[in-house]
Structure 1
Amino acid sequence: MRFDFFHTGNSKTEVFAIDKIASDGLWSGSLTVLIDELELGPYFYEVIDKNTNVLLYSRGFANIFGEWQTTPEADQVWGTFHESLRFPWPKNPVTLIVKKRDAKNVFQTIWTTHVDPASREVNPADIIHTEKVTTICENGPAQDKLDIVILGDGYSTIEMDKFNKDAKRLSDVLLSAEPFNTRKNDINIRVIETPTQESGVHKPHPGVFKRTPLSVHYGSFDSERYVLSYDNRTIRNIASAVPYEFMVILVNERTYGGGGIYNLYTTVSSDNKYSDYIMIHEMGHHMAGLADEYYTSSTSYEAPSVELEPWEPNITAFLDKENLKWKDIVTEGTPLPTPWNKEEFDKHGYQIQRERDSLRAAKVPEEVMEDLFLRQYNQEDEYFSKEKYKDAIGLFEGAGYNQYGLYRSQLDCIMYTRHTVFCKVCQRSINNVIDQYSK
């Protein structure tokens, strides 16, 4: 069942309105792990039997509204975003509860509504699909595996071969990274073709204006590299052609960009030199709710002040010294916090960001930006090679858009730099999610 609704509000208020309740095709989730014990994400929903009050299903999630709510624009105007909650078709009437973390990071109910599957307002008919579907890998029934669907935007009709090759290439990239490589037999990947009339997508900053089937665009929240689509209904309708829990939208562009929102989707600029990095990094956000560990790059939303322990599994404020999230795997003999040459590294990082902003403003060719990223990559390698604790699991200050007060577990990780390796803490978090859908 797919429960579609409108999420409206500003920086301080949010309200909800039901749009449509209908079939979303074959249920792909586990038939045994129905209760979300990971409790990740800024939002959480529960499906409860209305008569017995038994919890039937729950999941954590993030959304575009929640990110938009932290932007300066939300202080001035109201915004509305379309969203979906998906759960097994209930046999009897259910209560649907949506929760959000409060100022102390505790989930509090913000919306309660009811769903009667026998109601005339609920449509059990499946969408009749005409899209072409192919399979990259299928390792078992959808209910027993983690299922990924890949869509494309900005690929013209004559570029479908390119789209399928891009989908295969980036799937192989993902499955070559740990822990996906070890767990690849627990993963299914399917592809749905969504051709456009012309090549490329909407890029308002450089003045490239286009209309595409999925409405994917650069410049989300006025951040030139942030690639999203606000057309949730269209995307969900197309994706329902196959069973899926996680979604990738490949963008037929060379311009650096992407995005990843927990339990929503991942976007990847498929032709960029760093598309491998973008794919793996953004799937970390989308699948496991991993936080960005960098802090010298500009972002489109405001970083929260460090007053509470963040919910993300890969960063910490280290407020509870006895209960570090990854205490059980800290490398023996590693001091906490762990010393590293942070001042010099940060100076380098901020200099790169200034160069990056200047080059973007000058609208230089993409290969110039790629050369800058390569120089940054090589310089970071040089810095890390000199560090005493470069391979240790410890507590390194600087994470989650905060230069001070938040910590990451290892010196380097794909959530911190463009090196395409997850740290051990991130790998464990991803494994937990794969377990949720394959056991």
Structure 2
Amino acid sequence: MKPFYCILLFLLITAGSYGQNYSDHFLDKTLRVDYIFTGDIKQQSIVLDELSELPTWAGRRHHLSELPLEGNGQITIKDLSTKQCIYKTSFSSLFQEWLSTDEAKETTKGFENSFLLPYPKQPVEVEIILLNPRKEVTTSYKHIVHPDDILIHKRGTSHITPHRYLLQSGNEKDCIDVAILAEGYTDKEMDIFYQDAEKACESLFSHEPFRSTKNKFNIVAVASPSIDSGVSVPRENTWKHTAVQSHFDTFYSDRYLTTSRVKSIHNALAGIPYEHIIILANTDVYGGGGIYNSYTLTTAHHPMFKPVVVHEFGHSFGGLADEYFYEDDVMTDTYPLNVEPWEQNITTRVDFSSKWKDMLPSDAPIPTPVSQIEKYPIGIYEGGGYSAKGIYRPAFNCRMKTNEYSEFCPVCQRAIRRVIDFYVP
């Protein structure tokens, strides 16, 4: 029997490594999949909008069937003939945030979402799922992709948006590629945009762990032109014609700056290697937003621009949660207190061992009193994820809590470093 078990073990190991071999399943190209997420608080659905082919693949070539983080949604690619999982990724979406608003109780809406996947050599089955705050699947959608489909739109071979590398540590196969995109800059203002992009880059790499892993990143500034200068501010009845149609007052929150025109973002970047996106808005109005594995969008001319762009990139790249909270408020719709959040920098203590328990001093009191912040730079401080009670953060202060604080806390630094190492071992 022993030889049989040895052969079986070899086959299992081979199958596992086979799933991780990029060139066995994928070409050096990108499959962009555009979906529309639709519905309301009671029922959601996903529909396929369009498939596009991009000339290079800038994503990871290892850990292909693993998730970097759980996220609020996931995409799985399976080989159609063997049903073997050959790629997985995760994300969050503006649509899922919208579902927590009062508007979602009485209105049905649709939101654009675009995802970058490695381009398959053979037909594959793609499945996408959305999860609610209780980590339950609310809707899913499967479809078959035939790589030789003549209706897959080839993009990025001509009319490529002007761009300039601010940091080029290597090729797209070996580095994490971040595109900084212009929003609300006219053709005549592109010199200003490039200066703003340099400031964003400088701010990002002044923070750990980005500073010590700078050689793992490429940063490209992409000069997508707008007809109008500035961005839309609906509360002031100001609407601008801009590159990605961003606006303040998202969900009627003054400072929440986002765009639901996600396809326009990716169309502007077609032909340029990229994985992660920072959008700079040409305005001095305070605001921004960051959505995990979607984009960071932030104002470029407010005095708090530099800390804000890093904070929002903590969301979109690192999958970090907000650590600030509102007094006397428990937003259990966002983070149910009997469910452990997937974000690595907050906890409900339902599964604290999966968070920073290993970094906690053995004598740290729970909750950690604010009066003992000097003794416990890492603790379990109550208040985070918008809730004053029942959700805990790892440090008294952090870049994910306030703009005034100068760095990420040690737990957030570790979480970001893990993501970096996942993409570029």
Normalised-by-shorter TM-score class: 0.7 to 0.9
Deviations 1:189-245 (A, max 9, x none): 001101223321111112222111210111111111111111111110111231111
Q: Distance in 2 between matches of 1:77 and 1:192?
A: 36
Matched residue, 2:49:
19
1:71 positional shift: 0.9
Tell me the percent identity.
34
SS at match of 2:115: strand
Partner of 1:399: 384
8 Å contact from structure 2 (residues 330, 387) kept in 1 = no
Aligned to 1:194: 224
Aligned equivalents of 1:299, 1:224: Cα separation in 2: 21
Contact kept? 1:127, 1:237, Cα under 8 Å? no
Q: In 2, are the aligned partners of 1:174 and 1:280 still within 8 Å (CA)?
A: yes
- One-letter code of the match for 1:398? G
Backbone CA RMSD of aligned residues: 2.1
CA-CA distance at 1:24 after TM superposition: 2.7
Letter in 1 for 2:164: T
SS of residue in 2 equivalent to 1:47: strand
Give 1:92 deviation, angstroms.
0.8
SS in 2 for 1:23: strand
Query: Structure 2: which 5+ residue stretches go unaligned?
Result: 1-30
Deviation at 1:57, TM superposition (A): 0.8
Q: Residue type of the partner of 1:311?
A: W
Structure 2 length normalisation: TM-score? 0.88
Following superposition, the deviation at residue 120 of structure 1 comes to 2.8
CA distance in 2, matches of 1:99, 1:84: 14
- Give matches, 1:57-136, under 5 Å: 57-102=87-132, 104-105=134-135, 110-124=140-154, 126-136=156-166
- Whole-Å Cα distance in 2 between the matches of residues 31 and 399 of structure 1? 35
What SS is found at the alignment partner of 1:142?
Answer: coil
Greater relative contact order: 1 or 2 (C-alpha under 8 angstroms, separation 6 or more)?
1
- Return the alpha-carbon distance in structure 2 between the equivalents of residues 299 and 229 of structure 1: 28
- Residues in 2 aligned to 1:302 and 1:222: alpha-carbon distance in whole angstroms: 18
Contact 2:155 2:270 in 1 (8 A): no
Task: Give, in whole Å, the separation in 2 of the partners of 1:292 and 1:115.
Answer: 37
Q: Aligned to 2:211, what secondary structure does the other structure show?
A: coil
1:436 and 2:405 are equivalent in the alignment? no
Counterpart AA for 2:240:
K
SS in structure 2 at match of 1:238: helix
Deviation digits for residues 14-35 of structure 1 (CA, Å, limit 9, x no counterpart): 1122111111331101222323
Unaligned runs of 5+ in 1: 342-386
Report which stretch shifted further, 26-35 or 331-340.
Answer: 331-340
The Cα shift of 1:101 comes to 2.7
Partner Cα distance (2:382, 2:324) in 1: 11
Q: Does 1:158 align with 2:143?
A: no
TM-score, scaled relative to structure 1: 0.85
SS at match of 2:326: coil
The range that moved more, 311-320 or 172-181, is: 311-320
| Alignment deviations for residues 157-199 of structure 1 (CA, whole Å, 9 cap, x no partner) | 2211110000001101001101100110101000110122332
The total of aligned residue pairs comes to 393
Amino acid at match of 1:317: T
Q: Distance in 2 between matches of 1:130 and 1:37?
A: 31
Structure 2 partner of 1:363? none
Deviation sequence 1:286-311 (CA, Å, 0-9, x none): 01111111112899996344221111
Q: 2:341 corresponds to which residue?
A: 310
Q: Using a 3 Å threshold, how does the CA distance of structure 1 residues 126 and 90 change in structure 2: closer, same or farther? A: same
Residue 237 of structure 2 aligns with which residue? 207
Map of 1:415 onto structure 2: 400
1:193-272 matches, within 5 Å, as 193-272=223-302
Contact in 2 for aligned 1:135/1:191 (Cα 8 Å) = yes
